[in-house]
């Protein structure tokens, strides 16, 4: 599964411009199977979503569905959504047939006030694409390993983020930890550039179950990274070294 990370510089509160940018990037990779965009890729990370968040049936989601069908690929990324008077940081995973799987961010970023306006999700969401079982996660979720714990129910984690420069080494360290401890691939996309509150320098990467980086975007620049996800490598590793069989039998309360 050819996976492309889009480490974009997001224009604040401008879905038209940000979608146009993503559309052009996707067209440069005609053989891509999965394209991953950052957290709130159409607007930038907004903790005051009034007037910025988009409706559930917004043009951004319509574009994701149209583009996925046109290119016969999957497109993934989170969008600030307003629905029935509530706001959600909603991860959309759009399949080539137009089906959309959604995950609402569970761990809202209280330090930045996200919890004051957004409604948290309650369920983990795992999707399947090209035979790969994929866990959907958003930014701050990365700090909570129990929520991401592999119950032998996924092969890969997607993290989409707006993770600022002062804590970027935490991002890079925890991504590798999640791949190693869950014996899975991790594909993680962080934005670059700045918004009214923070600066970002990326750190997007695909990491294999051994903790090795398969592909990475250069820090501090808008760019892409491409990696092939090969399940035969993962399956052979799990069979040879069955770490997950020895996991402690605790669950999130």
Residues serving a catalytic function are: 39, 105, 139
SS3 60: helix
SS3 20: helix
Q: Is 171 exposed, middle or buried (0-12, 13-18, 19+ CB in 10 A)?
A: buried
Other CB atoms within 10 Å distance of the CB of residue 235: 11
CA dist list (Å): 180 to 122, 164, 228, 235: 25, 24, 18, 14
H or E stretch covering 172: helix 168-181
Q: Which of these, 21, 20, 81, lies nearest to 53 by C-alpha position? A: 81
CA dist list (Å): 199 to 14, 47, 168: 18, 15, 11
């Amino acid at each position: 599964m050819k996976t492309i990370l889009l480490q974009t510089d997001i224009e604040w509160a401008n879905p038209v411009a940000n979608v146009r940018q993503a559309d052009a990037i996707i067209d440069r990779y005609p053989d891509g199977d999965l394209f991953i965009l950052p957290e709130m890729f159409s607007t930038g990370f907004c903790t005051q979503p009034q007037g910025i968040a988009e409706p559930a049936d917004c043009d951004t989601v319509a574009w994701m569905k149209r583009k996925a069908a046109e290119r016969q690929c999957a497109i993934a990324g989170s969008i600030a959504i307003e629905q029935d008077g509530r706001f959600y940081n909603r991860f959309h995973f759009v399949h080539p047939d137009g089906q959309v799987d959604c995950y609402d961010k569970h761990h809202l970023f209280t330090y930045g006030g996200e919890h004051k306006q957004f409604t948290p999700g309650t369920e983990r969401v795992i999707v399947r694409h090209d035979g790969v079982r994929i866990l959907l996660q958003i930014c701050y979720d990365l700090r909570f390993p129990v929520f991401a714990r592999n119950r032998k129910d996924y092969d890969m984690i997607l993290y989409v983020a707006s993770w600022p420069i002062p804590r970027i080494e935490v991002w890079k360290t925890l991504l590798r930890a999640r791949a190693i401890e869950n014996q899975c691939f991790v594909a993680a996309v962080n934005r670059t550039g700045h918004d009214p509150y923070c600066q970002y320098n990326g750190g997007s990467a695909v990491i294999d179950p051994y903790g090795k980086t398969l592909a990475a975007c250069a820090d501090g620049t808008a760019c892409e990274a491409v990696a092939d996800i090969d399940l035969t490598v993962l399956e052979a590793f799990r069979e040879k070294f069955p770490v997950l069989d020895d996991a402690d039998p605790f669950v999130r309360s």
